[in-house]
Structure 1
Amino acid sequence: MPARDWALIRKALINGDSYNSEVSAYFSDFNTDTDTNALKNLCLVQSNDSALIAQQRIRFFREEIQKTHLKPIIVGQPKIDLDADVKYHPEVTVVLKQSLTSVSRGKYPKDARISWRLMNETSESLTFTKMNDVAALVYQQFFQNRFSFKKGKFIGWYISPLDGLHLQLYCLDATEAKRVAKYVVQAIGKTWNDSIFKVTNPNRDNTIESPQISILGKQKDAPIWRPNINVNSYKANINVWGAGNEDFELVGRLANGQFFAIARKN
C-alpha cells in the first residue's frame, strides 16, 4: 500500500467518529483506573503506527476486549427477504444493554429492545428531516438521562396497533413491567390505556444457578433463562421498509461516552 494511502486511512481511524472514537466510547462504560487506561491505550491507533501495528491493535480490541467471536448467533430472516413478504411502517428501536462491569469474564452482556412504529409515516413519506425530529425525541426521552430498567422473567404486554405499539417487555416483576410500558407510551406522545396492559408470570424459576453441562467433551455453563439484570439505553436506530440492508442510526455516541441525536446511515 502506498505510504500516502495508509496515512489517510490511519488519519480516518484516529479522527472523528471512527475506530478510535468507538474504542474510547467502549471504555467509557468502565471505571477509569491505571489498568483500564493502559488497556485502552493498547487498542487505540497511534499517529505513528504502521499498517501492521494498527491491524494488531484492531484485532486485539475486537477479539480480546469485545470478544466478537463470542457474540450470539442470531437465528432469523434477512431483512431483504422480510421486506419482500411484508410491508410495514418505519420502526424505531431503542437497544438497552447490560453494563460491561457486571458481566463475568468470557460472557457477553445481555440486551433488551423497545420498539414502536411511526404509524403516520411510510417509506415514501419519511425524510431525513423527519428522522432527525424522531432522533431528537428518542435522545431526549431515553438518552439525555440514560433510561434503564430491571429485566427478568415477567412479561409486560401493551398492544395498541393504532399507536404502533406491540410491547413485549421482560422485566423483574409486574410493577417494573408496568412502569416501563407506561413510560414508553407517554414518551412517544401516546395516551396510556390501563385496560390494555397485562402481565404474564411464568412459573419457571429464573434464580437457579446455571448448571454445568458437557458439550462435545467440554464443560460449559448452561444458558441462563431470563436472568434478573439491569439494562441501560445503548443505541437507537430506525428500520425502513424497502431500504434493503441499510440501517439508519438515530442516536450516536461520542468518545467521552456522551450520547447525541443524529439521523444517518450506519
Structure 2
Amino acid sequence: MPARDWALIRKALINGDSYNSEVSAYFSDFNTDTEAIAVKNLCLVQSNDSALIAQQRIRFFREEIQKIHLKPTIIGQPKIDFDADVKYHPQVSIEFRQTLTSIPRGKYPKDARISWRLMNETSESLTFAKMNDVAALVYQQFFSNRFSFKKGKVIGWYLSPSDGLALQIYCLDAAEAERAAKYVVQAIGKTWNNSIFKTTNPNRTNVPSSEQITILGKQKDAPIWRPSITVNAYKANINVWGAGNEDFELVGRLANGQFFAIARKS
C-alpha cells in the first residue's frame, strides 16, 4: 500500500466518529480505572503506527476486549426478507446494556431492548426532519439522564396497539416492571392505563449457580436463565419498513461517553 494511502486511512481511524472514537466510547465507563485506561491506550491507533501495528491494535480490541467471536448466535430472518412478508409502521428501539464494570471476567455483557411504533407515520411519510424530532425526544427522555432498569425473570406486559406499544419488559420484580413500563409510556407522550398492565412471574429460578456442564468434552458454565442485572440505555435507532438493511441511528455516543441526538444511517 502506498504510504500516502495508509496515512489517509490512519487519519480516518484516529479522527472523527471512527475507530478511535468507538474505542474511547467503549471504555468511557472506566474513566477512573488506571488498568482499563492502559488497555484502552493499547487499542487506540496512534499517529505514528504502521499499518501492521494498527491492524494488531484493532484485532486486539475486537477479539480480546469486545470478544466479537463470542457474541451470541442470532436465530432469525434477514430484514429484507421480513419486509417482503410484513408491512409495518416505523419502529423506535432503545438498546440497553449491562454496565461493563459489573460483568464477571470472561463473560459478555447482557442486553435488553424496549421499542414502540410511530403509529402516525409510515415509511412514505417519514422524513429526516421528523426523525430528528424523535431523536430529540428519545435523547431527552432516555439519555440526558440515562434511563436504567433492573432486569430479571418477571415480565411486565403493556399492550396498547393504537399507541404503537407492545411492551414486554423482563424485570427483577413486579414493582420494577411497572416502573419501567410506566416510564416508557409516559416518556413518549402516551397516557398510562393501569388496567392493561400485567405481570408474569415464572416459578423457575434464575439464581446464578456454578453448575458446570460438559459439551464436546469441555467443561463450561451452564447458561443462566434471565439473570438479575442492571441495564442502562446504550443506543437508539429506528427501523423503517422497505429501507432494506439500512438502519437509522437516533442517539450517538461521543468518545467521552456523552450521548447526543442525531438521525442518520448507522
> Shorter chain as normaliser: what TM range?
over 0.9
Q: Distance in 1 between matches of 2:43 and 2:154?
A: 39
Amino acid at match of 2:206: N
CA RMSD of aligned residues (A): 0.8
Q: Distance in 1 between matches of 2:196 and 2:210?
A: 35
Alignment of 1:1-266 (within 5 A): 1-266=1-266
Q: Identity percentage over the alignment? A: 85
Contact 1:93 1:116 in 2 (8 A): yes
Q: Distance in 1 between matches of 2:232 and 2:208?
A: 24
Please report how far the alpha carbon of residue 5 of structure 1 lies from its aligned counterpart in structure 2 after TM superposition: 1.1
TM-score (norm 2): 0.99
Secondary structure of the residue that 2:89 maps to in structure 1?
coil
The number of residue pairs the alignment matches comes to: 266
Contact 1:210 1:223 in 2 (8 A): no
TM-score (norm 1): 0.99
Contact 1:210 1:224 in 2 (8 A): no
Please report how far the alpha carbon of residue 136 of structure 1 lies from its aligned counterpart in structure 2 after TM superposition: 0.4
Q: Distance in 2 between matches of 1:130 and 1:50?
A: 44
Amino acid at match of 2:82: L
Structure 2 residues not aligned, in runs of 5+: none
Range with greater deviation from structure 2 (29-38 or 243-252): 29-38
Q: Distance in 1 between matches of 2:89 and 2:143?
A: 24
Range with greater deviation from structure 2 (130-139 or 207-216): 207-216
Please report how far the alpha carbon of residue 205 of structure 1 lies from its aligned counterpart in structure 2 after TM superposition: 1.0
1:132–1:164: structure 2 CA closer, same or farther, 3 Å change rule?
Answer: same
Q: Distance in 2 between matches of 1:208 and 1:218?
A: 20
Please report how far the alpha carbon of residue 34 of structure 1 lies from its aligned counterpart in structure 2 after TM superposition: 2.6
Range with greater deviation from structure 2 (161-170 or 23-32): 23-32
Amino acid at match of 2:57: R
Secondary structure of the residue that 1:74 maps to in structure 2?
coil
Secondary structure of the residue that 2:195 maps to in structure 1?
coil
Q: Distance in 2 between matches of 1:160 and 1:210?
A: 40
Please report how far the alpha carbon of residue 208 of structure 1 lies from its aligned counterpart in structure 2 after TM superposition: 4.7
Contact 2:87 2:241 in 1 (8 A): yes
